Amino acid sequence: MALMITDECINCDVCEPECPNGAIYQGQEIYEIDSSLCTECVGHFSKPQCQQVCPIDCIPFDPDMRETKEQLHEKYLRITAAK
């Protein structure tokens, strides 16, 4: 399950540099997450790093992006191989 940023985001810039996959970017109005690059931090960390640092807890799991740990690990391997 990838994560998503809600419109409560205050553009504090804290999460973007923490993402090991470069999945977080500045969108039109708030920061956004590219779900094709978000692995829930699987492969890098035990917990989603963006959630850890967001001061207002506006980065929930995206209910429309359900993925198993195995699928997330495969995504991690694809991203790593592409780098």
Q: Which residues bind ligand SF4 (CB under 6 A)?
A: 3, 5, 9-15, 18-19, 21, 23-24, 31, 33, 38-41, 48-50, 53-54, 56, 58-59
Say if CB 14 and CB 79 are below 8 A apart.
Answer: no
Q: Tokens for 75?
A: 């995504």
Find the shortest distance in angstroms from Cβ 8 to ligand SF4: 7
Residue 32 C-beta: closest distance to ligand SF4, Å:
9
Contact 15, 56 (CB under 8 A): no
Contact 8, 59 (CB under 8 A): no
CB of 52 to ligand SF4, least distance (A): 8
